[in-house]
Amino acid sequence: MSRRSAVLLFGALATMWGLSFPAITVGLRDLPPILFAAFRYDVAGVLLLAYVALTAAPGDRRPTERRDVSAVLAGGTFLVAANALLFVGQQTVPSGVAAILQGLVPILTTLWALLLLDQQLTPAGAAGILLGFLGVGLIVRPDPSNLLATDLVGKVIILGQVLFVALGGVLVDRAKPTMASSALTGWSMALGGILLHLGSLAAGEGLAGATFTPTAVGAIVYLGVFSTALAFVIYFTILERYGALETSLVAYLVPVVATVAGVVLLDESITLATIGGFAIVFLGFALLKRRQLADLLGYEDAVVRPGD
């Protein structure tokens, strides 16, 4: 893969994921949130498993070992089904803010890794985590006099989704699955879709509460086909070629796309405090991953001292 092709794929991935947040906001006008999330992963799971059936070796198409099953259970529960919280939260939170809050995932992933994978944290890493939480505080900005404000509750709900997604990533890593990543993702989405349908029923949602307007159907198709199934194929392509760190940087372009789309297409607004909070979250991520970023940029000798 040429560098130009990688840049184009990187940009396409950021755009697909970034536009998913306004698409959720649009679809929520006609669809109950948990059922909407279930439809997204129904479509994506079917498409990804069809892709796996066509491209993967027979032994890589389904879970065959206990650790594969553990990884699918963790992925389906925390990486997929927990996204119900994102859909619920976006009923009151602008799409750009919801996307910005996702920037906390790498930082919370580090915290879960400290608890579950027995990893070590340097003082600089601890400072990066603190910066991340400071940034989130600027984004959420709780009002002590009105802690039940709908936008605040929505932001807290989305933070719950971020917390569970970070946990899911660590649990999948700890399981050490042997199956192909695309198959693991497809089966996780299939399981997550089932869990979301059960959650939708438990919440009292139903098809009677859904209005399948052209806009709602378009949102489901866009989210399932483009921002999930196709986006994950692109993601795995970039991941295989360039590694986890460089691929993870797309998460910091996604809020830019989501915010611009929300302002232009949905007439949403975003405050300077929210933008500042996002910048601080990114600084925290950069401090936490300073060694890897220095190595990626070719400055490890100049930036990172031995033993730092």
The pLDDT tens digits of the residues spanning 168-202 come to: 999 998 999 988 888 999 999 999 999 999 999 99
Residue 299: phi and psi, rounded to 5, are -115, 20
Rounded Cα distance, 126 and 121, in Å: 6
Please indicate, yes or no, if residue 308 is contained in any of the structural domains: no
Rounded Cα distance, 185 and 203, in Å: 26
Residue 156 belongs to domain spanning:
3-303
Please indicate, yes or no, if residue 118 is contained in any of the structural domains: yes
> Can you give the pLDDT of all 308 residues of the chain as single tens digits?
666 777 888 889 999 999 999 999 999 999 999 999 999 999 999 999 999 999 878 877 889 899 999 999 999 999 999 999 999 999 999 999 999 998 888 888 888 988 888 777 788 888 888 888 888 888 877 665 554 566 789 999 999 999 999 999 999 989 999 888 889 999 999 999 999 999 999 999 988 889 999 999 999 999 999 999 999 888 888 877 776 666 777 878 888 899 999 999 899 888 888 889 889 888 888 887 777 667 666 654 443 333 33
For residue 90 the two structure tokens come to 């976006």
For residue 308 the two structure tokens come to 């730092």
Rounded Cα distance, 161 and 99, in Å: 12
Please indicate, yes or no, if residue 172 is contained in any of the structural domains: yes
For residue 14 the two structure tokens come to 């950021």
- Residues with Cβ within 8 Å of residue 66, at least 6 apart in sequence: none
Please indicate, yes or no, if residue 57 is contained in any of the structural domains: yes
Q: Which residues of 69-84 are buried (b: 16+ CB within 10 A; e: fewer)?
A: bbbbbbbbbbbbbbbb
For residue 228 the two structure tokens come to 């999930």
Please indicate, yes or no, if residue 63 is contained in any of the structural domains: yes
- Cα dist from 206 to 34, 76, 192, 193, 306, whole Å: 10, 22, 18, 15, 59
Q: State which amino acid sits at residue 183.
A: A
Q: Which residue reads 């959650």 in tokens?
A: 199
Nearest to 46 by CA among 180, 182, 186: 186
Please indicate, yes or no, if residue 207 is contained in any of the structural domains: yes
Q: How many domains does the chain have?
A: 1
pLDDT tens-digit map of 23-71: 999 999 999 999 999 999 999 999 999 999 998 788 778 898 999 999 9
Please indicate, yes or no, if residue 142 is contained in any of the structural domains: yes
Nearest to 251 by CA among 290, 291, 286: 286
Within the chain, what is the greatest distance between any pair of CA atoms?
63
Q: Which residue reads 């949403």 in tokens?
A: 268
Q: Give the number of other Cβ atoms within 10 Å of residue 204's Cβ.
A: 9
Rounded Cα distance, 280 and 270, in Å: 16
Rounded Cα distance, 196 and 83, in Å: 9
Nearest to 76 by CA among 172, 179, 215: 172
- Cα dist from 270 to 161, 177, 258, 262, 278, whole Å: 21, 40, 11, 9, 11
Distance of CA 234 to the CA centre of its chain: 15
Taking a C-beta distance cutoff of 8 angstroms, is the pair 105, 240 a contact? Answer: no
